[in-house]
Amino acid sequence: MEKALKKWFPVFVLPTFAAFIIGFIWPFIQGLYLSLCRFTTVKNAKFVGLENYIKAITDSTFGDSFWFTVSFAVVSTIVINVLAFSVALALTRNIRGTNVFRTVFFMPNLIGGIVLGYIWQILFNCVLSSLGEPLLSLNTTAGYWGLIILMAWQQVGYMMIIYVAGLQNVPPELVEAAEIDGANPLQTLFKVKLPMVMPSITICLFLTITNSFKLFDQNLALTAGEPAHATEMLALNIYNTFYARSGPQWKGIGQAKAVIFFVLVVCIALSQLRATRSKEVQQ
């Protein structure tokens, strides 16, 4: 069968592969090359070596947005996963209405980041104005926590679904055995359930960390980086370097930042996967 199928490559693979080259491979390679050039369009690129990288690293807004993103990612990952896991634990007990609750918690995932950011901007501004605090566009602290609340609201449902599936796969005999052996509920949770759902934890951590680092739409819609770039995350910083700054040097610097960003995301994703995979137990 393999032989008969082999010569059908043009029909089966070529359409996808051609689009993949147009939509991903070629832009990726060109992006790598352009990060070493000074350019405003692809045609007038002039090779300048590592100059863009040096300027990207010394650009203070890039450093600021890096630390902002890191602190956002750490806090939001912890908040989302702790909340999602607790809700999942509660919803896997026999309580009435579990399905309805799951449905409600998952719903925000279906709404786009731009719309969500806008809705929450209205809500936060109303709260802030009734507290007499400055509005989001002038308030860095509110912007930071606003982003975390927004992301938690959107992602808790998604992660909860994954945790629920993981918890349902824990054999009840195992939990019962632990209870008979005299383990209290807390011990059962940490010594039995948690190790058994480690694969779900790996997935959820991976998703929340990469989502936090790549966050763009919500950031743009909720705070747009205001006040004065103080709530600008890496993805938005790169976007602004490309499209909001005038001067022929900025596109190259933006592309260099994008390459650094890409390497960063890949490194974090891989090291996280390795760290949590090693803690998974064989079932």
Partner 1 sequence: MRDKRGSGLGWTIFFSVICALYMYPIVMVVLNSLKQERFISTSTSFDLPTAETFAGMENYIKAIQSNGFLESLFYSLFITISSVALILLCCSMCAWYITRVNNWISKMVYMLCAFSMVVPFQMVMFTLSQTADKLDLNTPFNICIIYLGFGAGLAVFMFSGFMKSIPIEIEEAAMIDGCSPLQTYFKVVFPILKPTMISVGVLETMWVWNDYLLPTLVLDIKKYRTIPMLIQYFRGSYGRVEMGPMMACIVLTVLPVIVIYLLGQKHIIKGVLAGAVKG
Is residue 115 near partner 1 by the rule CB under 8 A? yes
Is it true that the peptide bond before 227 is cis, omega within 30 degrees of 0?
yes
**Closer to partner 1 by Cβ: residue 87 or 230:** 87
Nearby residues of 250 by Cβ (< 8 Å), 6 or more positions away: 241, 242
Q: How far is the CB of 184 from partner 1 (least distance, A)?
A: 14
Is residue 27 near partner 1 by the rule CB under 8 A? yes
Q: Are 233 and 65 in contact (CB under 8 A)?
A: yes
Q: How far is the CB of 75 from partner 1 (least distance, A)?
A: 20
Q: How far is the CB of 144 from partner 1 (least distance, A)?
A: 19
Encoded one letter per residue, x for contact with partner 1 by CB under 8 A and - for no contact, window 139-168 reads --------------x----x--xx--x---
Is residue 13 near partner 1 by the rule CB under 8 A? yes
Is residue 181 near partner 1 by the rule CB under 8 A? no
Q: How far is the CB of 23 from partner 1 (least distance, A)?
A: 2
Residue among 67, 96, 278, 281 that touches partner 1 (CB under 8 A) = 96
d(CA 255, CA 32) in angstroms, rounded, equals: 8
Residue range at the interface with partner 1 (CB under 8 A); choices 27-35, 63-71, 72-80, 137-145: 27-35
Q: Is 226 helix (H, G, I), strand (E, B) or coil?
A: coil
Helical pair 250-277 and 51-58, crossing angle rounded to 10 deg? 70
Token pair of 142 as six digits:
């509110």
Q: Are 273 and 206 in contact (CB under 8 A)?
A: yes
Encoded one letter per residue, x for contact with partner 1 by CB under 8 A and - for no contact, window 28-67 reads x-xx--x------xx-------------------------
* Residue-wise burial string across 173-200, b where 16 or more C-beta atoms lie within 10 A, e elsewhere: eebeebeeeebeeeebeeebbeebbbbb
The strand pair at 37-38 and 46-47 is best described as: antiparallel
Is residue 129 near partner 1 by the rule CB under 8 A? yes
Q: Which of residues 250-279 bind partner 1 (CB under 8 A)?
A: 251, 254-255, 258-259, 261-262, 265-266, 269
Q: Is 118 helix (H, G, I), strand (E, B) or coil?
A: helix
In 3D space, the residue among 188, 183, 204 whose CA is nearest the CA of residue 93 turns out to be 188
H or E element: which one contains 223?
none
Residue the block writes with tokens 């082999």: 6
Is residue 186 near partner 1 by the rule CB under 8 A? no
**Closer to partner 1 by Cβ: residue 192 or 221:** 221
Residue among 65, 69, 77, 125 that touches partner 1 (CB under 8 A) = 125
Residue among 70, 75, 135, 138 that touches partner 1 (CB under 8 A) = 135
Q: How far is the CB of 108 from partner 1 (least distance, A)?
A: 8
d(CA 134, CA 140) in angstroms, rounded, equals: 10
**Closer to partner 1 by Cβ: residue 4 or 281:** 4
Is residue 220 near partner 1 by the rule CB under 8 A? yes
